[in-house]
Amino acid sequence: MEELLNSQSFSGEIPIVPIRKWGRWVSAVIIVGAFVALILGLRHAQIVWGDVPKFFAYRTMINGMVVTVILACACQGLGVVLGVAIAIMRRSKNFVVSWCAWLYIYIFRGVPTLLQLYIWYNLALAFKTLGIPGLFSVSTNSVMTPFVVALLGLGLNESAYYAEIVRAGFNSVDHGQVEAASSIGMKPSQTMRRVILPQAMRVIIPPTGNDFINMLKATSLASVVAVHELLLSTSNIYAANFRIMEALMAAALWYMILVSIASIGQHFIEKKFGNDQSNPSSMSLKLSMRRSLSPRGLMSRGRRGTGGFA
């Protein structure tokens, strides 16, 4: 050491040679190779690619896409409203109420969504009419239109999951926050609105975006109960012209577009609710894209997120 530090050529700084990460280069080459092979393979596939944009822009396809969006929004809306209500019931000190909420979650999470759709679809087999005996009644078939069946099947299922998300959000708020609110004389309703909910939002919002994205895709299940959403419209198209793969590709493209839009929306909502500095990890979309797409980001992923103040 003495020798080096005292030598003529020593300029005060000793250069650092980084570790060569060969594994990363090898895996990157393999993946790129596989990707190229996939593209080459697709060129030989028996798909008339020219038909995909044509089907993509079909009136039927677009109508189906609109129904998909409306159904997803309606189901998610129902899920959120019921989910919050059930989460609040679950917190209740009244044993009967909290047990009821538990049972609801247990049932709707336990039964497959497709099966729930079939049950609602066939409700008329069990109950010819719906209503309160002596007061009013309506024929089940007239109420349970395909859209209503899908709304109940997907929405109630979602509400059970959403209740758990909200519950996790409530639980994430430190009890000291509630005591502090009490100590300045805030009423329970004020504490819920001004202290618990805004803080729980940070935990609730990100999974809500995920759920909505899942819901966009889950609405394709509604095709089996005759809702003319995107997938059923697609099958109507290929039933007429037998261009099955082409129509499916066009539908896949639509789903990807919808999901992308939802993801961007999710990002901004997350930013809005995470802007209280207690969570310094929130990055802008541009920054996070730049970080993950730049070659540096690719090569040094392990170093992400070490910033921020202590």
Partner 1 sequence: MSLNRSPLVRAVNVHKHFGHLEVLKGINLDVDAGQVVCLLGPSGGGKSTFLRCLNHLEKIDRGSIWIDDKPVGYRLEHNKFHEIREREVAVQRAQIGMVFQRFNLFSNRTALENVIEGPIQVLKLPAKEAHERGVQLLERVGMMNWADRYPAQLSGGQQQRVAIARSLAMNPKLILFDEPTSALDPELVGEVLGVMRGLAADGMTMIVVTHEVGFAREVADKAIFMFDGVIVEEGAPSDVFSNPTHERTKQFLSKVL
CB of 207 to partner 1, least distance (A): 19
Asked if residue 183 binds partner 1 (CB under 8 A), the reply is yes
Residue count at the site for partner 1 (CB under 8 A)? 24
Binding to partner 1 by residue 41, rule CB under 8 A?
A: no
Q: Tell me the closest approach of the beta carbon of residue 205 to partner 1, in angstroms.
A: 13
Q: How far is the CB of 208 from partner 1 (least distance, A)?
A: 18
- Which of residues 6, 8, 189, 306 is near partner 1 by CB under 8 A? 189
- According to the binding rule CB under 8 A, does residue 194 interact with partner 1? yes
222 in helix, strand or coil? helix
**Burial category of 115 from C-beta neighbours within 10 Å (exposed 0-12, middle 13-18, buried 19 and up):** exposed
Name the residue type at position 309: F
Interatomic CA distance for residues 206 and 83, integer angstroms: 15
Alpha carbon distance 80, 269 (integer Å):
16
- Within 10 Å of residue 77's Cβ, how many Cβ atoms? 14
**Residues 88-91: contacts with CB within 8 Å, 24+ apart?**
90/163, 90/167, 91/167, 91/170
Pick 145 or 177: Cβ nearer partner 1: 177
Query: Is residue 27 involved in binding partner 1 (CB under 8 A)?
Result: no
| In the complex, minimum distance from the CB of residue 183 to partner 1, in angstroms, rounded to a whole number | 4
Compute the least distance from the CB of residue 278 to partner 1, in Å: 4
> Whole-number minimum distance, CB 195 to partner 1, in Å?
6
Among the listed residues 94, 13, 113, 67, the one whose alpha carbon sits nearest the alpha carbon of residue 236: 67
Does 39 contact partner 1 by CB under 8 A? no
Q: Which helix (H) or strand (E) holds 160?
A: helix 146-172
Rule CB under 8 A: is residue 307 a binding residue for partner 1? no
First-last CA distance in the chain: 37
142 to 181: interface string for partner 1, x by CB under 8 A: --------------------------------x-xx-xxx
Q: Is the Cβ of residue 210 or residue 275 nearer to partner 1 in the bound state?
A: 275
Does residue 11 sit in helix, strand or coil?
coil
* Interactions with partner 1, residue window 53-82 (CB under 8 A): none
Smallest separation (angstroms) from partner 1 to the CB of 187: 4
Whose tokens are 């980084």? That residue is 18
- Shortest distance (Å) from residue 178 CB to partner 1: 9
| Separation CA 79–CA 104 (nearest Å) | 13
Residues in contact with partner 1, shown as a per-residue x/- string from 264 to 283 under the rule CB under 8 A: ------------xxx-x---
Between CA 217 and CA 213, with CA 90 as vertex, the angle to 5 degrees is: 15
Residue 192 within binding range of partner 1, rule CB under 8 A: no
- Give the Cα separation of 80 and 165 in Å (integer): 10
Q: Considering the rule CB under 8 A, would residue 305 count as an interface residue with partner 1?
A: no
CA 54 and chain centroid, separation:
29
Site string (218-257) toward partner 1, x via CB under 8 A: ----------------------------------------
- Give the binding site for partner 1 (CB under 8 A): 174, 176-177, 179-190, 194-195, 198-199, 276-278, 280, 309
